[in-house]
Amino acid sequence: MSGPVRPPEGAAPSLGEDVAQRQVGAPTSGPARPPEGAAPSLGEDVAQRQAGTPTSAPARPRGVLPTLAASAALATFASSIILPALPAMAQAFGVSDAAMNAALSVFLLVFALAQLVAGPLADRVGRRPVILAGLCAFLAGSLVCATADSLAVLLVGRALQACGAAATAVLARAAARDLFEGAMLTRLLGLIMVVMAAAPGFSPLAGGVLAQGLGWRSAFYVVALYCLLLAWLYPRFVGETLPPARRRQLGPGPVVAGYATLLRDGRFVRPALAGALVYAGLFALFGSAPLILIQEYGHTVLQVGLFFAATVFVVFGAGTLAPRLAGRTGAPATLAVGLALTLLAGAALVAWTAPPFAAYVAAVCIFLFGMGLVSPVATAMALGPFGDRAGLASALLGFVQMASAAAGTALATSLALPRTQALGAVFAAAALLALGCHRRRPRAAPAAS
C-alpha cells in the first residue's frame, strides 16, 4: 500500500506522536473527527490549547522524556555526589565534620524555598527562560564550589547551585504537565521518579571514585559538565511548553493567594502529602543507611555505594509498573498498595530489634518498591487537576517534599531507638499518616481571585 496504515479506530496516539502534536499545535495527519459529544483526544486537546503558538524548539519527541528526567535529577545528583568527599573537604577547609554538614543543609534549605519562586515565575514568563536561567545559576555555583578556598565561599556556591536546581526540578514536572495528562503523565512522571531515585543511588559511588582519584573538587566540575549538557538538550528537545495564551500574569499577592488555594484543595493536598511523607522515609534511608551498613554490619564505604546502586533497580521496576497498574486498577488503588508496602517494611524493622543483614535488605527493598509505586502516581494526582497552574502546583509540591525529606532525615537520626528500629519507625509513621490522608475524601477549594 502506498499510504500509511491507519491505527485501529479509537486507539490512543503513540507517545512520540502525542509529543509532536503538543509541541507544534497540530496533528501530524488529519485524524478522523470524534463522535459528536465525545471528549477530545489527548493530542487534540493540547493542540487546541497551543494552536497558533509553535514552540521555539523543533519537535523532537524522542528526546523529551530523557531530557525532562535528567533535568529533574540534577538536584539529587548534585546533593549526593559530594557525600563521600565531605571528610576530605572538612580537612581542606580546617573545619569540623559537623560544620561541613552545612554544605548539605544550606543546599536543601535554599532548594526548598527557591521552588516557591521558580514555579510562579515560570507560569508568568514561560518555562524555557526560567529553566535556562536556572542552569546558568547552577553552572556558576558549581564553579564557585570547585574553586572555593573556604567553607563560606563553598556555601555561597551551594546556594547558587540550589537556586538553579530548584528551577530544573520544578519545571521538569511543570513541562510534563504542559505536554501530558492522564496515563501519559503518569508514565513520564514514573520515568522522572526512576531517574531521581537512581541519582542518589549511583552518584555517591561516582563521587567516591572521583574524590579518591582526582580530589574532591572534581565532583563539582563533573556536575558543571552535566549542567552544560542539559543547557544543550533542553532547547533542542523540549523548548517552550507554555504558550503565551496560557501564561498567568501574577504578582506576589496573587501568588500567595494561589498557594493558599492549593493548600485548601483536597485534590492537591491529599496526594501531595502522601507522596511527601514517602519522601520522608526515603531521605531517612539515605541519612541512616551508611551508618547502619558500616557500624552495624561492618561494610566498607565502597560496599555502601554498591548497596545504594543495587537498590536503584528496585525503584526502576516499581516506577515501570506504576503507570500500568494505575491504568488497570486506578491511581487511588495503586497509591494504597504502595503505601501498604511501605507500612509493611516499617513494621518489620520496628518489630525486629537486630535484624540480620538479609532481613534488613528485604525490608528496604519492600519500602523502595512501595515508594516507587506511590511517587509517580501521587505526583500525577496532585498536578493533574491544575493544568492552568502547573508551575505553581509543582513548586508547592516540591517544597512540601523537601520539607518532609528534611524532617524524615532528622527523625531517623534523633530517635532514641536502635538505628534500624528508628528507620522502621519513620517508615511506618509516614505510611500511616499518608494512608490517613489518602482515605479522606478530596474537596476542591474555591478558585483564587
Q: Which own/partner pairs from 86-95 qualify as long-range (CB within 8 Å, at least 24 positions apart)?
A: 88/211, 88/215, 88/216, 89/154, 89/216, 92/216, 93/150, 93/151, 93/154, 95/151
Query: Following CA atoms 206, 106, 87, 420 in sequence, which dihedral angle do they give, to the nearest 10 degrees?
Result: -80
Query: What letter does residue 294 receive in the DSSP assignment?
Result: I
pLDDT at 61: 57
> What is the C-alpha to C-alpha distance for residues 268 and 281, in angstroms, rounded to an integer?
21
pLDDT at 320: 81
Q: What is the pLDDT of residues 195-241, one digit of tens each?
A: 776 777 778 788 878 887 888 899 999 999 999 999 998 888 787 87
User: Are the beta carbons of 179 and 19 closer than 8 angstroms?
Assistant: yes
User: Are the beta carbons of 70 and 196 closer than 8 angstroms?
Assistant: no
> What is the C-alpha to C-alpha distance for residues 260 and 116, in angstroms, rounded to an integer?
12
Could you give the residue ranges of the DSSP H alpha helices within 4-148?
Answer: 15-24, 42-50, 64-72, 74-80, 86-93, 97-100, 102-125, 127-146
Angle at 184 between CA 182 and CA 187, to 5 degrees: 110
pLDDT at 223: 93
- Architecture (CATH level 2) of domain 265-439: Up-down Bundle (1.20)
Q: What global pTM score does this model have?
A: 0.67
> What is the C-alpha to C-alpha distance for residues 269 and 382, in angstroms, rounded to an integer?
7
Instruction: Give the length of the chain.
Output: 449
Q: What is the pLDDT of residues 129-160, one digit of tens each?
A: 888 999 999 999 999 999 999 999 999 999 99
> What is the C-alpha to C-alpha distance for residues 118 and 116, in angstroms, rounded to an integer?
6
Helices (H) and strands (E) in the chain, counts: 18, 0
pLDDT at 57: 37
Q: Which candidate, 10, 2, 84, 86, places its Cα nearest to that of 42?
A: 10
pLDDT at 42: 36
Any idea where the domains of the chain sit in the sequence?
60-235, 265-439
Same fold, 60-235 and 265-439: yes
Q: What is the CATH number of domain 60-235?
A: 1.20.1250.20
Query: What letter does residue 415 receive in the DSSP assignment?
Result: S
Please give the average pLDDT of every successive group of 10 residues along the chain, which has 449 residues: 47 46 43 41 39 39 77 84 80 81 79 83 82 93 94 94 89 76 71 71 80 87 94 84 71 81 88 90 82 82 78 84 87 91 94 90 95 88 76 81 80 82 93 82 50
> What is the C-alpha to C-alpha distance for residues 84 and 203, in angstroms, rounded to an integer?
10
pLDDT at 443: 53
